[in-house]
């Protein structure tokens, strides 16, 4: 582990937002799935939630694999179960859907625990998903097209959340618990060692100031 890389990993982890997430409702194209995860990483989303399409989601070799090192992906059987879990954790669910009562996506507060719900490009958020939403938001469009690509729409919402949270100082210090921070820092820094320790049921060793693994005491 090169010290420069370790310190970069630490800095990125310090800016992760544990209460900003995405819920993908049957997003069915691998390139959209991958792009949404990249958007999540770019704004500091720690975890993403996914309801796979009924036919499954085929990911080509390497598709989103790099991003999934940094963004945890939690799969759910259906959108109702996913929404139930998120609401129990205190999230408001904001659906990207141009309904009659939808508000401009820039008019809501993203600094409270927020789950942004997006759907497949062709069909959008499912009816079941809309029933779980606390609010629908729309992206103003003045051209001939009726909607944006789902990954583009998601990026607009995420970067609005980023703008608001940055202005509120939410990226200035770590918002993770010390134990979770140290756990993730080790897993990011030494993924192979972390996997072996989990397999053997052993705790992670401590890290030094530059990311080196410290000798374990007897």
The answer on pLDDT for 153 being more than 90 is yes
Q: For residues 21-31, give the mean pLDDT.
A: 93
Do 180 and 125 share a structural domain?
A: no
- Assign 56 a pLDDT band (cuts: 50, 70, 90): low
Per-residue pLDDT at 66? 66
Do 5 and 78 share a structural domain?
A: no
Do 115 and 189 share a structural domain?
A: no
CATH number for the domain that contains residue 32? 3.40.1280.10
192-211 tens-digit pLDDT:
999 999 999 999 999 999 99
Q: For residues 117-137, give the mean pLDDT.
A: 92
Do 111 and 196 share a structural domain?
A: no
Do 187 and 158 share a structural domain?
A: no
Per-residue pLDDT at 62? 56
Domain membership of residue 3 as a residue range: 1-16+174-218
154, 49 Cβ separation under 8 angstroms: no
Number of domains forming the structure of the chain = 2
98, 138 Cβ separation under 8 angstroms: yes
Per-residue pLDDT at 147? 83
Intra-chain end-to-end CA distance of the chain, in Å:
24
Do 8 and 29 share a structural domain?
A: no
Do 2 and 60 share a structural domain?
A: no
Q: For residues 25-39, give the mean pLDDT.
A: 92
Structure tokens at 121: 């490009």
Do 44 and 9 share a structural domain?
A: no
Per-residue pLDDT at 65? 61
Do 200 and 137 share a structural domain?
A: no
93, 87 Cβ separation under 8 angstroms: yes
Do 122 and 62 share a structural domain?
A: yes
- Assign 99 a pLDDT band (cuts: 50, 70, 90): confident
111, 168 Cβ separation under 8 angstroms: yes
* End position of a domain, from candidates 146, 167, 188: 167
Per-residue pLDDT at 160? 99
Q: Which residue has the tokens 């509120």?
A: 168
* End position of a domain, from candidates 125, 141, 167: 167
Alpha-carbon distance 176 to 19, whole Å?
10
* End position of a domain, from candidates 167, 190, 210: 167
The percentage of the chain sitting over the pLDDT mark of 90, rounded to a whole number, equals 82
């Amino acid at each position: 582990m090169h010290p420069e890389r370790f310190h970069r990993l630490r800095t990125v982890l310090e800016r992760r937002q544990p209460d900003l997430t995405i819920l993908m409702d049957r997003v069915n194209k691998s390139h959209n799935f991958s792009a949404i995860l990249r958007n999540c990483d770019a704004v500091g989303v720690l975890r993403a939630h996914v309801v796979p399409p009924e036919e499954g989601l085929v990911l080509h070799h390497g598709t989103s694999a790099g991003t999934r090192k940094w963004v945890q992906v939690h799969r759910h059987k259906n959108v109702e179960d996913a929404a139930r879990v998120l609401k129990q954790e205190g999230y408001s669910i904001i659906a990207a859907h141009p309904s009659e009562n939808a508000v401009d996506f820039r008019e809501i507060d993203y600094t409270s625990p927020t789950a942004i719900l997006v759907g497949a490009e062709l069909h959008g958020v499912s009816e079941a998903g809309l029933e779980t939403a606390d609010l629908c938001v729309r992206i103003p469009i003045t051209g001939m097209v009726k909607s944006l690509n789902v990954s583009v729409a998601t990026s607009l919402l995420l970067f609005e959340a980023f703008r608001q949270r940055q202005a509120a100082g939410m990226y200035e210090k770590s918002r993770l618990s010390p134990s979770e921070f140290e756990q993730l820092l080790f897993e990011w820094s030494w993924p192979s060692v972390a996997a072996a320790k989990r397999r053997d049921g052993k705790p992670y060793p401590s890290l030094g100031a530059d990311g080196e693994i410290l000798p374990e005491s007897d």
